[in-house]
Amino acid sequence: MDNTRFVDLLASGCQALGVSVGEDVGPRLQRLMAELLKWNAKVNLTAITAPEEVLEKHFLDSLAVLPEVTGAASLLDLGAGAGFPGLPLKIALPALGVTLVDTVGKKVAFIKAASASLGLQGVRGLHARAEGQPETEGIPRAQLLIARAFMDLPDWLALAPAYVEQGGRVVAMLGKSQTDAELASRAAERQLRVISARAYRLPFSGAERQVAVFAKE
Q: Whole-number minimum distance, CB 159 to ligand SAM, in Å?
A: 8
Q: Which residues bind ligand SAM (CB under 6 A)?
A: 78-81, 84, 101-104, 107, 129-131, 148-150
For 28, phi then psi, to 5°, come to: -70, -40
Q: How far is CA 75 from CA 85, 111, 184, 205, 211, in A?
A: 10, 15, 23, 28, 16
The residue at minimum Cβ distance from ligand SAM is: 81
Instruction: Report how far residue 189's alpha carbon sits from residue 180's, in angstroms, rounded to the nearest whole number.
Output: 14
> Is 79 annotated as belonging to a binding site?
yes
- Residue 101 DSSP code: E
- The answer to the question of whether 130 is labelled as a binding residue is yes
Nearer to ligand SAM, 24 or 131 (CB): 131
- Cα separation of 77 and 79, whole Å? 7
Cβ nearer to ligand SAM, comparing 56 with 102:
102
Least distance to ligand SAM from the beta carbon of 181, Å?
A: 26
Please indicate if the annotation marks 105 as binding a ligand. no
In order of 26, 76, 78, 121, 217, the CA distances from 57 in angstroms are 16, 20, 18, 25, 33
Which is nearer to ligand SAM, 130 or 197 (by Cβ)?
130
**13/83 with CB nearer ligand SAM:** 83
Could you tell me the smallest distance in angstroms from the CB atom of residue 62 to ligand SAM?
Answer: 8
11 is annotated as contributing to ligand binding: no
Does the CA dihedral 127-131-135-136 come out positive or negative? Answer: negative
* 186 annotated ligand binder: no
Residues placed in the known binding site = 79, 84, 130-131, 148
